[in-house]
């Protein structure tokens, strides 16, 4: 048996281990022991404590996009570049389809806009359990289509649009890439931070990192119980690895965390795309856990990932 199997915690970086120890000493109850409202408030309050201060950018404004069934979905537009039309990343935040918001991912979106010299639109899709599967998918796709339709109005380039997201938001971005392919819409890039891609959390990394690495197995199960019925989890819009065909998709940049229950399914998704002749750039950040891109105050790999992702965006946009 490998040392990795015997003691996975030894692979944490010193900074990551220190942060986990601080959080454990605080003694907060796990999210699955909270109500949904409490979990959302806890995450909203904690996000600024882990992330870097928000950098100033040229433009930050609220938008209204069209969601599923024509209903309104809020969004936030970031831009730190002059001149138009700007290429744009349509971004979906993580949070297990249940928590999280554009506010919790404000710093990340500001950095991506600044580093990639593009606009970023962060979509406030409707969350579970009030809105169960597939509402988030439908909102994400409708919002993306709205950005394309109204791009000129906002000074954006409708011919240079990328999708992106982290965790559950990465799932939504991957699904949108499939839907865009199916309507012959060539996206510039799918930018995926540790996306969920499988029907069930049964890979080796879910067993190896399922406890003590910030995102526990019980929390994942709680998120998904809020979002989707068990009998629907084979649907590829929940588990993009189940999609019947990955050919013809937009090129992908995939950033994973080494000590993350989701790392194996991220690698499996990259492999599936490559097998379908999709260009994939895969980065695995050593010693960090799920959610690290929002922990820049404590984890230096967060800014490295921001810079790597921005570099991929600039390349995809030809800028």
How many C-beta neighbours within 10 Å does residue 3 have? Answer: 9
Q: Which of 111, 246, 290, 306 is catalytic?
A: 290
CA atoms within 13 A on the CB side of 280: 25
Torsional class of 59: left (φ above 0), alpha (ψ -120 to 50), beta (otherwise): beta
Say whether 235 is catalytic: no
Q: Which of 138, 260, 264, 281 is catalytic?
A: 260
Closest by alpha carbon to 109, among 234, 317, 293?
A: 293
Say whether 290 is catalytic: yes
Tell me how many degrees the CA angle 108-198-132 measures, rounded to the nearest 5: 70
- The answer to whether the beta carbons of residues 147 and 88 sit under 8 Å apart is yes
C-alpha–C-alpha distance, residues 115 and 312, integer Å: 11
Q: Output the furthest CA–CA distance in the chain (Å, rounded).
A: 59
Say whether 4 is catalytic: no
- The answer to whether the beta carbons of residues 208 and 5 sit under 8 Å apart is yes
Q: Which of 122, 167, 199, 205 is catalytic?
A: 167
Closest by alpha carbon to 226, among 74, 47, 34?
A: 34
Element (H, E) at 166: strand 156-166
Residue 183 is encoded by which pair of tokens?
């309507």
What phi and psi, each to the nearest 5 degrees, are found at residue 138?
A: -65, -40
C-alpha–C-alpha distance, residues 317 and 141, integer Å: 21
How many C-beta neighbours within 10 Å does residue 282 have? Answer: 17
- The answer to whether the beta carbons of residues 247 and 273 sit under 8 Å apart is no
DSSP β-bridge partners for residue 120: 78, 89
Catalytic residues: 167, 260, 290
């Amino acid at each position: 048996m490998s040392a990795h199997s015997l003691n996975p915690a030894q692979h944490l970086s010193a900074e990551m281990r220190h942060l986990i120890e601080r959080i454990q000493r605080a003694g907060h109850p796990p999210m699955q022991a909270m109500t949904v409202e409490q979990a959302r408030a806890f995450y909203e309050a904690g996000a600024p404590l882990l992330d870097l201060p928000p950098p100033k950018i040229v433009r930050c404004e609220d938008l209204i996009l069209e969601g599923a069934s024509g209903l309104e979905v809020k969004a936030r537009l970031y831009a730190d570049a002059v001149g138009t039309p700007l290429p744009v990343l349509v971004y979906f935040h993580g949070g297990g389809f249940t928590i999280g918001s554009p506010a919790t991912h404000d710093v990340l979106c500001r950095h991506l806009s600044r580093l990639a010299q593009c606009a970023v639109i962060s979509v406030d899709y409707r969350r579970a359990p009030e809105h169960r599967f597939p509402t988030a998918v439908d909102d994400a796709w409708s919002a993306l289509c709205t950005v394309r339709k109204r791009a000129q109005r906002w000074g954006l380039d409708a011919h240079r649009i990328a999708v992106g997201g982290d965790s559950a938001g990465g799932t939504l971005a991957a699904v949108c890439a499939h839907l865009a392919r199916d309507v012959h819409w060539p996206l510039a890039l799918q930018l995926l931070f540790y996306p969920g891609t499988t029907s069930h959390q049964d890979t080796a990394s879910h067993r190896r990192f399922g406890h003590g690495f910030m995102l526990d197995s019980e929390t994942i199960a709680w998120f998904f119980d809020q979002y989707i019925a068990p009998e629907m989890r084979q649907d590829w819009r929940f588990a993009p690895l189940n999609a019947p065909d990955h050919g013809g998709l937009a090129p992908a940049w995939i950033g994973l965390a080494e000590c993350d229950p989701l790392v194996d399914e991220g690698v499996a998704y990259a492999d599936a795309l490559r097998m379908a002749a999709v260009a994939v750039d895969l980065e695995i950040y050593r010693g960090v856990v799920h959610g690290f891109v929002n922990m820049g105050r404590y984890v230096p790999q967060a800014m490295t990932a921001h810079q790597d992702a921005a570099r991929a965006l600039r390349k995809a946009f030809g800028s």
